[in-house]
Structure 1
């Protein structure tokens, strides 16, 4: 499991390609909880309804924390396909 001790609320979550995936609302167990307002709805190719509820990204996808960004090991379009819903 990735070290999540440096991950804080409101950090940006980006894919390996640098594309915005979401914004951290918190850590719950082994998942990053993304804010309802910003949980991947703007990603090109994302499917389904992404508004009105939280989405989660597994901490297993974390490649590292760089400043105020959480970088994932997968590109954004792939990462959103692994999102879990509330």
Structure 2
């Protein structure tokens, strides 16, 4: 996936159309999601990352992943680089 198509504030959705997050920026081959989409509990309040390799397509203002949202969130990495 060429990261120049992924822009700040785009919605990231799973293959099933379910919201995964919002793009903060692309950093080191990964999409950095906004803190507002960081989840609950110990996941809340810091950035999560999605590998660009999971991007299936960019459709208008949406980044569609190749995995359903429920699967995609298990593949996210926290800011520390650890899987969620």
TM-score, structure 2 normalization: 0.88
- 1:30-49 equivalent positions in 2, closer than 5 A: 30-39=29-38, 41=39, 49=42
Higher helix share: 2
2:43 and 2:63 map into 1 onto residues whose CA distance is 20
The unaligned stretches of length 5 or more in structure 2 are 80-84
For 1:69, which of 58, 62, 68 is the aligned residue? 62
- Runs of 4 or more, structure 1, over 3 Å off, are none
For 1:56, which of 49, 55, 61 is the aligned residue? 49
CA RMSD of aligned residues (A): 1.3
Question: Residue 32 of structure 1 aligns to a residue in which SS?
Answer: strand
Superposed displacement of residue 60, structure 1:
0.5
Deviations 1:55-83 (A, max 9, x none): 00000000010000000000000000000
Superposed displacement of residue 50, structure 1:
2.6
2:33 and 2:45 map into 1 onto residues whose CA distance is 12
Aligned residues: 79
TM-score, structure 1 normalization: 0.86
Name 1:78's counterpart in structure 2.
Answer: 71
Question: Residue 24 of structure 1 aligns to a residue in which SS?
Answer: strand
The unaligned stretches of length 5 or more in structure 1 are 43-47
